A = this chain, B = another copy of it.
Amino acid sequence: MHPYQVKIGTQVKLSEIDPNDQSLFPKLTKKNYFKALEKLNTQLESLQELLFAQGKHRVLVVLQAMDTAGKDGTIRSVFDGVNPLGVKVASFKKPTPDELAHDYLWRVHPYVPGNGELVIFNRSHYEDVLVVRVHNLVPPEKWSKRYEHINAFEEMLVDEGTTILKFFLHIDKDEQKARLEERLKEPSKQWKFAVGDLDERKRWDDYMQAYEAVLEKTSKKHAPWFIIPANRKWYRNLVISQILVDTLTSLNMEYPAPAPGLENIVVE
């Protein structure tokens, strides 16, 4: 089992998990980082091409994190170079009235991967036990049932041929402060700053508690959660890339056999 994978049935204490950990790539220099990431990017590119060509497996990557923890940055860095034909990002923001008029899985289900596809959920159905819980948007007797729904939903996806990987990007409150301040100062980053982010920051502890419940209740063998130390962006990128490459490799994919008689065809 991967060292960052959440063991089923264990209690998770995020305050005891070091967001600066770099034990999997110790003593890496900046130059070596770029080399290592490039190598992983190339591997991921080939594996995704194979995934698409074979058209058999479906891969769902779920990204969850506090603001500024690097969901967008992860997508940009880790999936650099993959073929957009077979890779899709589905971003879930504040639900529309029409979405709120339906069950909370209604808006995510249409975006799950089909054969040969890799889909990244940038936020996900987990928001319905995170922001919804922290802000009391539905009563506890309602959201408390959702962990089991979500487990059943993901189990169904897996039984039907989907591989699911879920990443929680773990930063601490100080790191968020530094990143929010950078967004305030840097003109090219100001567009990412929303005043509402500060309100959410005030509820940091509530969010940590809600995340701990998610990580404890919904990390399954078939759909594991990984807690990724994410104070260091380079480390976050390498760890996630490596997990993706390893997981796709373990699918033992093959290019489909050529059509029979292909060896005799002459293109004139």
- Could you tell me the distance between the alpha carbons of A55 and B160 in the complex, rounded to whole angstroms? 34
CB-CB under 8 A from A161, the residues of chain B are 103
**Is A106 among interface residues, defined by CB-CB distance under 8 A?**
yes
Known contacts: A110-B109, A110-B110, A112-B103. The answer to whether A152 contacts B156 by CB under 8 A is yes
| Least Cβ–Cβ distance between A256 and chain B, in angstroms | 15
Across the interface, do B114 and A105 meet the contact criterion of CB distance under 8 Å? Answer: no
CA distance A110 to B107 in the complex (A): 8
Give CA–CA (A162, B105) in the complex, Å: 13
Interface membership of A115, Cβ < 8 A: yes
Q: Is the CB of A160 within 8 A of B101?
A: no
User: 0/1 per residue, A152-181, Cβ < 8 Å to B?
Assistant: 110111011110000000000000000000
Chain B residues whose C-beta falls within 8 Å of the C-beta of A103 in the assembled complex? 112, 156-157, 160-162
A102 interfacial by beta-carbon distance below 8 Å? yes
| Shortest Cβ distance from residue A265 to the other chain B in the assembled complex, whole angstroms | 25
Option from B55, B106, B142 in Cβ contact (under 8 Å) with A159? B142
Q: How large is the interface on A (under 10, 10 to 19, 20 to 34, 35 or more residues)?
A: 20 to 34
**B residues within 8 A CB of A55?**
101
A113: chain B residues within 8 A (beta carbon): 102
Which one of B101, B105, B112 lies within 8 Å of A102 (CB-CB)? B112
* A interface residues (Cβ-Cβ under 8 A, vs B): 55, 58, 98, 101-106, 109-110, 112-116, 142, 145-146, 148-149, 152-153, 155-157, 159-162
Q: List 28 A-B contacts (CB under 8 A).
A: A55-B101, A58-B102, A101-B114, A101-B116, A102-B112, A102-B113, A102-B114, A102-B115, A102-B160, A103-B112, A103-B156, A103-B157, A103-B161, A103-B162, A105-B156, A106-B110, A106-B112, A110-B110, A142-B159, A142-B160, A145-B159, A146-B159, A148-B152, A149-B159, A152-B152, A152-B153, A152-B156, A153-B156
